[in-house]
Structure 1
Amino acid sequence: MGQGAGQVAADEGDAPDALLGTEATDAVPQSYAVAEDAKEEGSKPSQPLRRQRHSVVHLLDDDRTQLLRTCFCPWATLQDVLNADAVCKRWHQLSREEQWMEMSILNGGVSASLRRGLWRHLSAVQEIEQRYQHELGVASAAEAFEALLHQPLSQAKISEIERDVHRTYPSHRRFEGQEGAEGRAELQQVLQATVVAEPNVGYCQGMNFVAATLLIHLGSASDAFWLLLALLESYHYRFVFAPGVPLLPLRVFQFAGIVQRCLPRLWRHLREDGHSLEIFAHQCVLTLFSYSLEPDLLAYVYDAFFLQGWKAVFRIGASLLAFLEEQLLQMSLEDISHHLHQCKKHLRLPQRKGQLAAAFRVLLRFDVGLGSLEELESAFQLQRLEVLLSQVSLTTDLDVQAGKRLVQQPQTR
């Protein structure tokens, strides 16, 4: 997975080099910056950097520090952490050591005013924009987007995208009826520019929902396009959407493995009824939960995905099934398939603005480590190897174990 912006100095008196985006975050105070990302377990989370030379508090005793950890930090918003870090050296030190920035993001503490800059930073999208600006000979990301839109695209591809645009969030105010004509036109532009920029990926169903969610929360077609491109590059989504969907089988296998570990009773019930989670997993992976969750709640899901990558997908997917577990345990195979396909109607998650952060925290009830994903990746590769070997006619005994050793170094991102 691509890394975010490089770490900036955090010593007292240093000036910030990279903000959450001077261009990208009009509502973010200019004195705050984000340093590192935490898209992989064990790495430090993005951290703010204060600009002032004078700190209000230089040292917190153990009791006060513990009070911060237990009573304040679990409920602090991202803006709270940024504000306090700007004036408190000890806070800055602890927030780096204990990943308070990551905690605030995963607790649903990202406000709409900070979201655009946070996503841009965690995805390292500015590097992608600069590369295209250089290749196209233009001065800005917006101009690069327009240049891509003016490049030729087959009418067949345009029509294919247009059909799906009209099926994307048809009841959402951004895309509904005559009032939604502008939103649909912008979504069409985002998807067409993506096909031009990524000809080896092209267009795949599911991409329209991801692009539409980005458009809803970012506001402009240009911003949505660049973040979609960042998902394709930095988070390996190009291998999910590319012809033949080469990465999708692995992600579905990992999804099923996480469900087996987190929800063993439900897993046994599904297996006994001969039900496969493949279709539900496809929906979760290809649309980033657009079939399961409302766009307002998806903003928080994307916060987690930009921060944690695929770990967030598996954590949230398992949690959705946990919500439905008692219902599914009473159902037949046919009913299970229908229920999962319509799970948005059955989840009954809070949808009011003030309740979304609480609903999001429940969606992260399970922890998924990179070690577990790497084990599942190895198991998937071994399974593929065994299937391949079973299809080959061999005249002599083959040391299958030797072949298996070729796939012992997973590359999960």
Structure 2
Amino acid sequence: MTRTMEGEMTGNAAQALACCNDTDRIDPYGFERQHDFESYREMMNEYVAVLHRRSMRWTKLLQEKPQVEKNLTVKRFVRKGVPNEHRTRIWMAASGAQEQMESKPGYYQSLLAMEHDHKLKETITTDMHRTFPDNILFKNKAESGLQKELFNVLLAYGHHNPTVGYCQGMNFIAGYLIIVTKDEERSFWLMDALVGRILPDYYSPAMMGLKTDQEVLGELVRTKAPAVGQLMAQYPGIWTLVVSRWFICLYIDILPIETVLRVWDCLFYEGSKVLFRVALTLILHHQMEILRARSLPDVCQCFKEITCGAFTLDCHNFMQKIFSEPGSLSMATITKLREKCRQQILEEESRQP
């Protein structure tokens, strides 16, 4: 078992390895990993040293400054990874969810106590069995299953934000939040931060935010990887085909879970531009494979394959790459491109019969 020069492993790091159930091939989050368990465990044997170092440094930082502030030190710490034992606290503080929850005591419970919209309940119920079928925590017969908590969070959010209600993809996001926080109310407020503020219009009926960001990525690729941009330009509507699930599911079931959680650390702290950094890194790192595509099916298959393998499984190295490979990417640039792409989409839609 991996140890570091700084001493024995922390409880959190040791638990991460101990929870890898070799017999059933289940990871610490409850996911069955029949096909990649060995590579996952090998990665965790290396990653546990990183977890240990980060845990010690975060604990020291939070002891010195219990109030989580936004500054360069915390930003650097977030980019290097938030240990599981501190994740809920950091996500809640960085996203503004903690402030919202404290300003509305009892609000979440009041949403659950109200009379519920029958159609909303029915739509959410339909998706329950589709949510992480490979996770033992979300199976119907699991004694300590999380399906009830998942249903409650989605139902409460549907009443809290009736404009959005419930949209496919939100079940996976709420599921991940519950796995991490182990708390319904905090998962609800983090959902509110994501859907209401960090990803505006991703889940509204028109999904204008999602459509816009897909085209923004296309613009960024044309600038940062011109050859790939030229290839993709041959296929109208290609970005919707290859990256809509990346964005709407925030890389859940696209990237390995440890990598997704590291992306989310930065997403809650830095905002939606992180999603573009991830997408650009995947594309830039695999330019040669993408450029070998000779047809639309080839392109779609390639975009599936570039999210798998050692590059994305090694979450610590991958996260270092997303802040170096794409180069400069400011929120001002994203905002400007969003305005341009949104206008183009609206003009195209107005021309349709």
Q: Is TM > 0.5 for Structure 1 vs Structure 2?
A: yes
- Paired with 1:125 and 1:107, the residues of 2 have a C-alpha distance of 22
Q: Which residue identity does 2:124 align to in structure 1?
A: I
Measured after TM superposition, the shift of residue 147 of structure 1 is 2.5
Q: Is 382-391 or 164-173 further displaced after alignment?
A: 382-391
Structure 2 matches for 1:170-319, cutoff 5 A?
170-176=133-139, 178-179=141-142, 182-237=145-200, 239-272=201-234, 276-319=238-281
- Indicate how the Cα distance of structure 1 residues 226 and 349 shifts in structure 2: closer, same or farther if over 3 A, else same: same
The residue number in structure 1 matching 2:337 is 376
The residue number in structure 1 matching 2:297 is 334
Deviation by residue 1:272-297 (Cα, 9 ceiling, x = unmatched): 35561123332122111113112232
The residue number in structure 2 matching 1:77 is 54
- Paired with 1:173 and 1:215, the residues of 2 have a C-alpha distance of 14
Measured after TM superposition, the shift of residue 207 of structure 1 is 1.0
Consecutive unaligned residues of structure 2, counting only runs of 5 or more, are: 1-11, 13-51
Root-mean-square deviation (CA), in Å? Answer: 3.1
- Paired with 1:305 and 1:383, the residues of 2 have a C-alpha distance of 27
- Indicate how the Cα distance of structure 1 residues 340 and 258 shifts in structure 2: closer, same or farther if over 3 A, else same: same
- Say how many residue pairs are matched: 296
- Indicate how the Cα distance of structure 1 residues 321 and 162 shifts in structure 2: closer, same or farther if over 3 A, else same: farther
CA contact (8 A) 2:150 2:178 kept: yes
Deviation by residue 1:166-212 (Cα, 9 ceiling, x = unmatched): 11221123224632772222211111111011112101111111111
- Indicate how the Cα distance of structure 1 residues 387 and 174 shifts in structure 2: closer, same or farther if over 3 A, else same: same
2:95 counterpart (106, 123, 131): 123
The residue number in structure 2 matching 1:103 is 76
Deviation by residue 1:137-188 (Cα, 9 ceiling, x = unmatched): x4xxxxx333312222233322211222211221123224632772222211
Q: Which residue identity does 2:198 align to in structure 1?
A: Y
TM-score (normalizing by structure 1): 0.63
- Indicate how the Cα distance of structure 1 residues 152 and 373 shifts in structure 2: closer, same or farther if over 3 A, else same: same
Q: Does 1:164 align with 2:127?
A: yes
Deviation by residue 1:204-254 (Cα, 9 ceiling, x = unmatched): 1111111111111111222211210122233243x2212222322222221
- Indicate how the Cα distance of structure 1 residues 258 and 248 shifts in structure 2: closer, same or farther if over 3 A, else same: same
CA contact (8 A) 2:259 2:312 kept: no
Measured after TM superposition, the shift of residue 356 of structure 1 is 2.9
CA contact (8 A) 2:91 2:265 kept: yes
Q: What is the DSSP-based 3-state SS (H/G/I as helix, E as strand, rest coil) of the residue aligned with 1:171?
A: coil
Q: Which residue identity does 1:242 align to in structure 2?
A: S
2:320 counterpart (352, 361, 375): 361
- Paired with 1:235 and 1:296, the residues of 2 have a C-alpha distance of 21
Consecutive unaligned residues of structure 1, counting only runs of 5 or more, are: 1-26, 28-74, 89-94, 139-143, 392-413
Q: Is 118-127 or 159-168 further displaced after alignment?
A: 159-168
- Paired with 1:145 and 1:188, the residues of 2 have a C-alpha distance of 13
Measured after TM superposition, the shift of residue 386 of structure 1 is 5.7
Structure with the largest fraction of helix = 2
CA contact (8 A) 1:81 1:100 kept: no
- Indicate how the Cα distance of structure 1 residues 384 and 183 shifts in structure 2: closer, same or farther if over 3 A, else same: closer
Q: Which residue identity does 1:200 align to in structure 2?
A: T
